[in-house]
Amino acid sequence: MVPAPGENENALDQNRLALPPCRLFYGARIAISRTDAMFVATLLSNPAAPALDPAAAEALRNAWGGGDLQWLAPDEAAEFTLEVAPANLWQVWEDMQAMGIDLAMQPAKARRKKMLLADMDSTMIQQECIDELAEEAGVGERVKEITARAMNGELDFDGALRERVGLLKGLPETVIGEVLDKRITLMPGGRELLATMKASGAYCALVSGGFTAFTSAVARQLGFDENRANTLIVEGGKLTGEVATPILGREAKVQALADITARLGIGEGDVMAVGDGANDLGMLGRAGAGVALHAKPVVAAECSLRINHGDLTALLYLQGYAKTDFTV
């Protein structure tokens, strides 16, 4: 789903260049009067199957009158600067998507962020933890249906979480460890993303609407500085079917952004946030760079930084890191 042009598209003032990337580039051709307010266009593909044709990238740079094409990784990622945001951005975006290429545009200034704020389920890992627990409890299809509707914004998150957790009542606590060992896999590129940003001095926080039993393990594996999530209540070695309150949902993620940036003494513009579900929209809209990663349609429609083909290393390319800069 591609946004329609917004109002006053030819009169976007300079102050809005400092706003989060969601709902910013709607096909307007925006005159830039200062070189530090230029834009950067980033083209990238799936690292597992690089598909960025050099001729196509050069043709786009030429058509838009951009600066020299800079390759961040051969056949995988490249970027070039622009003095204006092109009027046909989203039309070209659609064309690139059909070629297996992600196209992103953002202000060039302050692209390299001081903090990463990440969702966990279907973002830092490839699964939804509650769905995997539900499979063990024999209620997988029912819970998956609720999860999908909640992540699409069709259901109240708190109510949907309570309903799903209720279906897990009586499940042995030991199943959590089994699910972690057998069912949970990291999203490709996550280790490079964390290691590279931390090597540059960035702070990394994992904030999930899932459960602390999983976020603590994922945070240890990837090197997050802190993690926040919901807590499953256990009695007698079994899940009670209840979750501790208050429930961490959309507003709690926004609050985490505010709390952590204040504690670190940085601005929200210094943050790159990444997520895929409706409960991530608040933090994606507030962060300096809000990235919708393989996101649900309702989320993608609200954000201009959309990664559908690349993996988590795309977040490094968006910040101007070359592959040779990655820390492994």
Catalytic residue ranges: 119, 121
- Residue 45 · residue 100 · CB < 8 Å: yes
Amino acid, res. 108: A
Number of neighbouring beta carbons within 10 Å of residue 267 = 14
Partners of residue 117 on adjacent β-strands: 205, 273
> CA dist 33 to 39, 84, 104, 266, Å?
12, 10, 21, 27
Using CB atoms within 10 Å of the CB of residue 62, give its burial: 0 to 12 exposed, 13 to 18 middle, 19+ buried: exposed
Determine the Cα–Cα distance for residues 136 and 147; give it in Å rounded to an integer. Answer: 16
Contacts of 220 (CB under 8 A, 6+ apart): none
Q: Which residue has the tokens 């256990």?
A: 234
Determine the Cα–Cα distance for residues 222 and 128; give it in Å rounded to an integer. Answer: 17
- Residue 114 · residue 202 · CB < 8 Å: yes
Q: What is the DSSP string of 128-197?
A: -HHHHHHHHHT-HHHHHHHHHHHHTTSS-HHHHHHHHHHTTTT-BTHHHHHHHHHT--BPTTHHHHHHHH
